[in-house]
Chains A and B, each alone.
Chain A
């Protein structure tokens, strides 16, 4: 009976917290994305200097500008085009992991909330940066094709690896990572003990 009460209480808190957490995240998603966009801008600029011009922040979106122009729907040298080819990326499809984790974390009874929360946030942010990098590479691959994949003297992951990493980071990581971090951090909590019994030690 105690288990049922724990589970009901936990679920009630999670659902109650999801609403304000997602509300705050919607308001803060622009500033939240800024450091990730800055880091990925540095990484892409150093990794693919002949392809990537810059990654700019536009609120919660990133604007990835390439070193190519566009003519009749095809990427060309900037000298042949009046326009620089760029595309927008939605960082929120990665960062919604943060309000989900926040709701799970604060719905669980704990002695110390802040330290664990900051550790969890840091892990999620590292995954967000990696996810954004994969998202950028997938866009470059789709838009530029061989111009991106067949660069001279630059290691570019194979197309299938980029595609798989992109799918993994979009479809699985933003929802699985918060749940996994929460489960790991809560494994010794009274809630986990009441709900699941002891996790196997081996």
Chain B
């Protein structure tokens, strides 16, 4: 347990510090955030003709309400927490890579739901948008990370049990 905590904190702080570096922001985080905005727009546009998208901005043509998807809204921090937890827990590198890959997709899928839901909430009521944006969605994204990690631990536990049964049988 001690080893888990030490490795977890070490990986977390290292990756978070790396994320904050200007070159990483410029070459990785900002383009990735732009990609998320484009993906969110691509999902919304076929269903809603009143929406216009440009760069990292989604806007309602009629009301003028717009959201700009910024760094900090891209699920990267949640992914960093997941990576730190998976790396800190004993397991093969293959299973770790698989958990991180699938976990990343789960976090980003949830994050796109977040972006789109906030876009529509903001057009409806700005106070509720602010409340949900600042306080509720970060919790839901972290719950997503927690569930992915629990499922990974269950999968590891089952794989161990099956391996043990196979070696005994």
Q: How far is the CA of A96 from the CA of B13 in the complex (A)?
A: 22
A54 interface residue (CB < 8 Å to B): no
Q: Nearest chain A CB to B22's CB is how many angstroms away?
A: 11
Residue of B nearest to A3 (CB): B154
Q: Nearest chain B CB to A97's CB is how many angstroms away?
A: 9
Q: Nearest chain A CB to B76's CB is how many angstroms away?
A: 9
Residues of B within 8 A of A18 (CB): 136, 139
Residues of A within 8 A of B157 (CB): 196-197
B142 interface residue (CB < 8 Å to A): yes
Chain B residues within 8 Å of chain A by Cβ, number: 34
B51 interface residue (CB < 8 Å to A): no
> If A168-B16, A199-B4, A200-B4 touch, does A96 touch B72 (CB 8 Å cutoff)?
no
Bitwise interface map of A from 162 to 202 toward B, beta carbon under 8 Å scored 1, else 0: 01100110011011100100000001000000011101111
- Tell me the dominant secondary structure on chain B's binding face: helix
B146 touches A196 (CB 8 A): no
Q: Nearest chain A CB to B80's CB is how many angstroms away?
A: 8
A93 touches B135 (CB 8 A): yes
Chain A residues within 8 Å of chain B by Cβ, number: 31
Interface residues of A in 61-95 (CB under 8 A from B): 90, 92-93
Residue of B nearest to A199 (CB): B1
B1 touches A179 (CB 8 A): no
B61 interface residue (CB < 8 Å to A): no
A100 touches B17 (CB 8 A): no
Closest 4 CB pairs of A and B: A197-B157, A175-B142, A196-B153, A96-B135
Q: Give A contacts to B, CB under 8 Å.
A: 3, 7, 11, 14, 18, 22, 26, 90, 92-93, 96, 99-100, 163-164, 167-168, 171-172, 174-176, 179, 187, 195-197, 199-202
